[in-house]
Structure 1
């Protein structure tokens, strides 16, 4: 791998060009932990590897679900390769539970208040002014342009809806680990090659509040570092153990907590073309599908014998192959966060495609 010049250096990472891969960059994490816009910062041995592992697993999870993500592959213990993006200088925050800065900014809202649906906020990235909160109108009025894409109402709506969908997918993914995702911050960029808005930067243990058993006193995220009255070697070791705890469990998010399968019974081989479409549609949700041939009319005993080989719920009568697969996915998604994630991403992507088509027809480009 031929690494070129440094394109950017932040508080916890560096970005380098890749001379052999035009349109790609290397994101290198640092053994650095900060709080309060780097008013507090410390060296934390091993943090780069922990953060990179968490980000790589989370981005893989979201990408496999169908979320457009600036992630290509993990590269060593402390870096990953991603499509080059021009970053949109907004932190998007999604909250399920009111805590932290939200309670301070909104007197009268009690700690622990739950938002249904999750609450989405945005903050302009400006360290000198402590990242002020922005409205949608301010972001649109700024008329930002990145990689040739002007950030208007359509783009703001896409980022807002994507933020909520990403939060809901990760919230659902952490539940089998008995962890509550309280809130989360993410950033978007414009892919310089595709000109699309994609989830970018990182999602690591600095990016969220994560409470095992929904108990704030057990918090495993960066808040445990922020809450230190005085930074001591013992305090940093406690913070590192919390980060390692998350890194150990994040790999489990890539594994389904339950197995699922669709079985299609065909009356004859003449049904094969239609049923192959069902199998393909199931594959889009990551659901294995078996095709069997049996005639309930000509051989009911054999049909009942085959049916007895399988356990589960029978599907409703649905005419379209895609509808059959989606109905099955909705059943499995109740107990399988990976299937649910694909369903949620599919809803988001359908919404985005309609939003983009509407923009094109309004601009006369359709």
Structure 2
């Protein structure tokens, strides 16, 4: 048998097609030849579970990650993320805000980065972004800059992977009402999308359009021409009970609305009680409640919602919804801090997959993240 180091390029490349992120990383560390093969990976990666991006280690400055497939923590040196608050994850890229309220879009494992323009004002009377140079250590309308770092942008998503398409769009939910705004490469500022003055819950890029769901369960599509505005679409959606958060998901070409319901717990907090899943048929103008999602698992949080086929991933709970806690500084500990787990669509129970006590108050939200572009 020939030595492993003498295997031909095409054989080695075929081997990498079966390797998930961590094994691909280890493969490239064996020798120079194998590293060169790993850099030129032509095959799409096999199905993999998202990682959970955690807080920064205060002593080392390294960023903590949790591998769900290995049930193991990793601390990785990513200088670009030091001191930054993570407000979104999409297509393997992260959105991060520093203490000066400046934002970046970054692939953490290749260090490719886009600097984002100054964000729009948080609210009518709280334009922290124009005061940052004048009073960098003051409180603005009751908020410190550390709090503004976590409050300004609720969520950010991408239309496409910037490595695959240069004409991508970044869409954010920002400010008091989670107003919509977008940026494209070459733009000098954010463009605010005109819409109703109500809180927006989630945004989804679906079949060439951006859709957003409001706190009143109104579904809107973004019309970019002639002026960017929200236009209401879809059937009327009614809700019952205490909905903590609404999510939109692209589920194999179907749009799903996932409602997260809460209940009061013994420690006077409001924790997640259950989820309902509704398919929205835009063409037929109909709603269909989904009672199971077969072998799939959904991963919800401040990331672009992720659907994973778990049929070949035994470590993943199929027909389950993995969720992270809701962390906004102004919401207080009583509203969902330390509340993360996995909801079983079959028996309607919630179980844990990670020790929730590790999350102190007002730290980075745990964000689901699928690593891409390994080298």
Q: Same fold (TM over 0.5)?
A: no
Which protein shows a greater Rg? Answer: 1
**Greater fraction strand:** 2
**Greater fraction helix:** 1
Q: Give the TM-score normalised by structure 2.
A: 0.24
Q: Give the TM-score normalised by structure 1.
A: 0.24
